[in-house]
Amino acid sequence: MALAKIVYASMTGNTEGISEILEEQLKAKGLDVERIEAEDADSDIFEDADVCIVATYTYDDGELPFDFEDFYEDLADEDLSGKVYGVVGSGDSELYPDYFCHAAELFDEDFAKTGATKGSELVKIENDADDEDTARLQKFVDEVVAAQG
């Protein structure tokens, strides 16, 4: 069975909630799923995964969460060819219009350097996921799963 790993950082719970929705949706598609907090993830965490997902909020005017800094620095050096990736961001476009979900954009760019296949476009969510966002996440999961070889 294919293995999906979701690495996430969450300070106030919004991204954690998003990661839980993703877990549920991926399991419903028949995948094994592991959800790992960024602070517990080494850069080689995706080595045994078929589907690699990062979910992150953005901090301090476009910055990565502190817990993701080391992981992010090393990600582009990993060889993830043959795997599929997808990124989901949570942010606040009203308070931070110029940096909305910027950390998620950074991850999306870096994953492209790993040789992995982009399974779906980046999903940006306004704070916590509502029903509409859950439907967008379902589309994201459907596409990511379908992109596997």
Residues within the interface to ligand FMN (CB under 6 A): 10-16, 57-62, 90-92, 96, 99-102, 127
For residue 40, the SS3 value is helix
Smaller CB separation from ligand FMN, 100 or 140: 100
- Least Å from the CB of residue 100 to ligand FMN: 4
Calculate the alpha carbon distances from 105 to 31, 123, 128, 148 in Å: 26, 10, 18, 22
Q: Rounded distance, CA 24 to CA 68, Å? A: 23
What residues have CB less than 8 Å from 128, skipping those under 6 apart? 13, 14, 17, 18, 90
The least CB distance from residue 64 to ligand FMN, in Å, is: 10
Q: Where are the alpha helices (DSSP H) in 29-130?
A: 69-75, 102-111
Rank residues 55 and 145 by Cβ distance to ligand FMN and give the closer one: 55
Nearer to ligand FMN, 12 or 82 (CB): 12
Q: Which is nearer to ligand FMN, 65 or 119 (CB)?
A: 65
Q: C-beta of 82: minimal distance to ligand FMN in Å? A: 30
**Residue 51 CB, nearest distance to ligand FMN (Å)?**
21
